Amino acid sequence: MNQSNAARPVFTARGLTKTYHMGEVEVQALRGVDLELHAGELIVLLGPSGSGKSTLLNILGGLDVPTGGRVWYLDHELSGADESELTRFRREHVGFVFQFYNLIPSLTARENVAAVTEIASAPMTPEAALELVGLGSRLDHFPAQLSGGEQQRVAIARAVAKNPAVLLCDEPTGALDSTTGVRVLEVLEQVNRELGTLTVLITHNAGIAAMADRVIRLSDGTIAEIRANADKTPARELSW
Amino acid sequence: MKALNRKLLRDLWHLRGQVLAIVAVIMGGVATLVMSLSTYDSLVETRERFYAEYRFAEVFAYLERAPEPVAERLRAIPGVERLETRVVAGARLEVAGFDDPITGRILSLPDVGEAGLNRLHMKRGRRVAPYSSDEVVLSDTFAEAHGLGPGDRIAAIISGKRRSLQVVGVAVSPEYIYQIAPGAMFPDFKRYGVLWMGRTALAAAHDMDGAFNNLTLSLARDAREQAVIDRLDQQLARYGGTGAYGRADQFSNRFLSEELKQLQTTATIFPAIFLGVAAFMLNVVISRLIALQREQVAILKAFGYSHLAIGWHFVKLVLVVVVLGVAAGSALGAWFGQGLASVYQETTFRFPYLHYRLELSVVLIALGVSALAAVSGSLVSVARAARLAPATGMQAEMPAVYRATLLERLGLQRWFGAPTRMILRHIERRPLKSLLTVFGIACAGGLMMVGNYQKDAIDFMVDVQFRQAAREDLAVTFIDPTSGRALHELQALPGVEYVEGFRDVPVVLRHRNHEYRASVYGIEPAGRLHRSLDRSLAPVRVPPEGVVLTDHLASNILHIQPGELLTLEVLEGRRQVLQVPVLGITRQFLGVSAYMQREALNRLLHEGNVVSGAYLAIEPGREAAVYAALHARPRVLSMVANVSAIQSFYATIGEFVLFYNLVATLLAGSIGFGVVYNSARIALSERGRELASLRVLGFTRGEIAYILLGELALLALAAIPVGMLVGVGLIGILVQAFENDLYRLPLILTSANYALGATLIAASTLISALFIWRRLGRLDLVAVLKTRE
């Protein structure tokens, strides 16, 4: 953990529960989660399908609200916030990276990033963001002209360009082959290191856990284990 | 139920919003078709039945007077099946409590038994008793307008003598389904009435004992109408015959035919446009809808379903929608059709009964056209999806290929933010699709303008006719042509401001092999009341020698140019045949006529200062006094008051136009909404994921709505001027289609009508946008993170 670690956690969760009603079936996705995530950390959320890791990420990212318990971003309580407050929270503080990139096909790499920087308060330039992910030479390419790995790096540039406090990545390498996946992880690692952005990364690929500061293993809606990595493995040395 | 069919029902339910919108589009097209064609079929059928049942005659002739035995010779003309002589008298009528002038036409009935031709359909009361001296049967329109019935009395001035008549019955005749006073422009049921009276009584009153002045006949099966007419004219010439004519020239029948022709045109053009637009939109919408089912096609293929089975599955889906639309459209169309037919029956086609008929073939046409459009649209998309290997189909579609738009390449891009660029690029990437959408929306706006055009046209025609051309308050016709001195007497009547005499003569106009029966009107060269208008509708002076023709008469009927000689065959008096140069063209929307200076016409006819009648301007508020004074004059045959004519015209036509506008508005509205909503809804399906991603990234609902609805608004905005063009084009087609000698439609485009077309587009867009706005609030953000396209 680096020096910028502030006293106040970026995220604080207390007794989080989430219940989905799927027709007549009730699904308990989270069954009481307590958690603190700090600035500059690189967190890997590990767990099998249905363990609740996506639900947790969605609640932290302001895409969903808990059924019970409370969650804070710094001193703002997210539990109980309304739709427009959550939108503003996502807009100002959260960067998202999706499994399937979700780029806007009608916009170039530069414009995909600009779409977000145009509505952010203190963003870096799209060019700088793309430079950061190693795509400084492909600014004016449309998504259809980029490979999967390149598309994901544009997505990362888009997520970090607004200088968010947190970067939430849901299976960012899930659709990529291992070589390309490692390249994407390297970029995430670099962003985390250079910008000090709290980075939360969901995966069910245990091999990736080695690059994290802390690994949080979820199982059946509860935290089964929180493990701090004494010595992190650089992403470039990972393989699966 | 098979699993695939279950899927079909679920899909339909899932797509219910779009299904409803497509049903609305089909419904609009089909309802117009069914309404128009069924109304037309019903009226034609009713007319044929009524004519046959009540023995409508086939040839008609008026003459001055012939002794009854002449009829025997006429019956011997080859081709005549049955010939009946009659006495017909013009009259002025008086109804207690109604001060306006009423023109009447009294026809004789056989003293005993029923007429063999032109039989009466008795609506109320009974026929005239044998040899009764004062019993009459009234035409139903006149009786209804005045609330008269059996037991009431009215007065008639026949040949200058006033008689009190006993009403015994109310009837409809195939000869007078459409009734209009001589010299009038529109039917006026209150001020024009047809009456039937016993032959002996009418002959006595009209000085026709043992004689007749009118005959009608039916033709033998193989008879040639023209041959019979020619023989008849030969024989009647010496009895003052004014020329026999067939059904085609019989006034009521001719008007009904023109109306039916117009209705047929309406029944062809409108549905063709409506159904065409609907079919086109259906094709576009369905093909885009099915394109979204790409993954499902791949999955079904992976399961081992054949292309045929998959194609049939989607065709079934589409057919269910089509059948729903056609069923709803047919029901609505039949309902509108019955309404329209009965409005027609009340205003124009006064048939005593109506056989409403909806031909199965009409529904089948609607079904065929809609199904073809929909199925072809869907098969194209299914085929495209089915060409892919299943694995490819199930994989994420490669990001669509975009490029910078023309505007941006021109260097304008710094003016656009990313959302605006998305809009522009999306429109430009599929230019054809965008164009089709614009065109579809535009068509709805154009249809709206066509629906509303009719009212504007009528207002304009009335304005030109009564405020520019025929500006008199009252037109008085004398029993016979009279000395011009009569004008001084009229001028002297208290309340009369100004008098202009006119001379009208029935003629046949000939030029080369073209001929037309009309009247030549001798009017004052620079009249204040009755004027002839040039092409720009400014009054022109009638030249001293020669004749001025209505534009339609000159160019489309007689094919004659100014400067050429026109032959006038006079049908009264000495029956001269004259050559007169055409010296001018006058614009007229109602009827066609030939104008000369009255003096010139008098000179041509070798008569002195003679008038047939007079146009009067009356001091406001003194009308009743003038009417009363004219009533007292035996030589006055009829009076037609313009104001009341206009009022009665609007009273009768108003209902029809209102009904028609309502229907057109509803249908254009449903098509417009269907098109816009579907375009927006499909765009949402195509781009939902993109928009949800942006929501996750922190875009507000308003910001993503801008991207989606901004595109819709841009297309709708582009559709507004296109819609106006479409409207103008469609109205132009109508104007062309409805050109006939009874009336021509003016090409009138009011700003209100343009505004209406634009409003329809704007309103459809706004309503669709509201629906879409609600849907944008329900975008599933979480799903976006997990699913690929």
Per residue in B156-207, pLDDT (tens digit) is 989 888 899 999 999 999 999 888 776 666 678 888 999 999 999 999 999 9
pLDDT of residue B413: 65
Around B461, how many Cα atoms within 13 Å sit in the side-chain half-sphere? 22
pLDDT of residue B183: 64
**A64, A90, A158: residue with CB nearest B782:** A64
Chain B segment 356-415 residues within 8 A of A by beta carbon are 396, 398-404
B401 to A91: CB separation less than 8 angstroms, yes or no: no
The CA distance from A235 to A213, in Å, is 12
- Rounded to a whole number of angstroms, the distance from the CA of A98 to the nearest CA of chain B is 5
- Rounded to a whole number of angstroms, the distance from the CA of A101 to the nearest CA of chain B is 9
pLDDT of residue A3: 42
The CA distance from B452 to B723, in Å, is 14
What token pair was written down for B394?
Answer: 């199930």
- Rounded to a whole number of angstroms, the distance from the CA of A106 to the nearest CA of chain B is 5
H helix runs in A39-133, sequence order: 53-60, 83-93, 109-117, 126-132
User: Is A25 domain-assigned?
Assistant: no
The CA distance from A85 to A95, in Å, is 16
B703 to A119: CB separation less than 8 angstroms, yes or no: yes
Q: Given a cut of 60, is residue A236 above it in pLDDT?
A: yes
Picking from A64, A106, A139, A167 by the largest number of B CB atoms within 10 A of its own CB, the best residue to mutate is A106
Q: Given a cut of 60, is residue B396 above it in pLDDT?
A: no
- Cross-strand pairs, B469: none
- How confident is residue A68, by pLDDT bands cut at 50, 70 and 90? very high
B421 to A143: CB separation less than 8 angstroms, yes or no: no
Which chain B residue has the Cα nearest residue A84? B700
Is B698 near chain A, with CB under 8 Å? yes
Is A72 near chain B, with CB under 8 Å? no
Is B766 near chain A, with CB under 8 Å? no
The CA distance from B97 to B100, in Å, is 9
pTM of the model: 0.73
Chain B segment 768-787 residues within 8 A of A by beta carbon are 781-782, 784-787
Chain B segment 484-503 residues within 8 A of A by beta carbon are none
B399 to A90: CB separation less than 8 angstroms, yes or no: no
Per residue in B92-135, pLDDT (tens digit) is 899 998 878 888 999 999 999 889 999 999 999 999 999 999 99
- Cβ-Cβ pairs closer than 8 A, A with B, add up to 103
Full domain range(s) for residue A229:
39-63+92-237
**Which residues lie below 8 Å from residue B476, measured CB to CB, with a gap of 6+?**
B490, B613, B614, B615, B616, B630, B636, B638, B639
B421 to A111: CB separation less than 8 angstroms, yes or no: yes
* CATH (domain of A145): 3.40.50.300
**A84, A106, A112: residue with CB nearest B426:** A106
Domain count, chain A: 1
Amino acid at B590: L
Residue pair B387/B296 in contact (Cβ under 8 Å)? The answer is no
Amino acid at B365: I
CA distances from B765 to B712, B723, B772 (A): 8, 14, 10
The CA distance from A72 to B679, in Å, is 42
Mean pLDDT in residue range B486-501: 92
Per residue in B213-258, pLDDT (tens digit) is 999 999 999 899 999 999 999 999 889 888 899 998 898 898 888 8
Residue corresponding to tokens 């132009």: B732
Sheet holding A198-203, edge to edge: A94-97, A166-170, A198-203, A42-46, A214-219, A222-228
DSSP for A111-169?
HHHHHHHTT-SSPPPHHHHHHHTT-TT-TT--GGGS-HHHHHHHHHHHHHTT--SEEEE
pLDDT of residue B789: 45
Rg (C-alpha) for chain A, rounded Å, is 17
Q: Where are chain B's structural domains?
A: 1-59+252-395, 60-251, 496-618
Residue whose C-alpha is closest to residue B362's, from B40, B48, B730: B40
**B403, B703, B789: residue with CB nearest A142:** B403
pLDDT of residue B751: 92
What are the chain B neighbours of A144 within 8 Å (beta carbons)?
398-402
User: Is A192 domain-assigned?
Assistant: yes
Residue corresponding to tokens 């023709």: B549
What token pair was written down for B415?
Answer: 């003016």
CB atoms near residue B223 (< 10 Å) = 18
User: Is A150 domain-assigned?
Assistant: yes
Residue whose C-alpha is closest to residue A200's, from A169, A229, A175: A169
B86 vs B480, residue with greater confidence: B86
Per residue in B667-709, pLDDT (tens digit) is 788 878 888 888 888 788 778 888 888 998 889 999 999 999 9
E strand or H helix at B213: strand B211-219
pLDDT of residue B421: 85
- Rounded to a whole number of angstroms, the distance from the CA of B416 to the nearest CA of chain A is 11
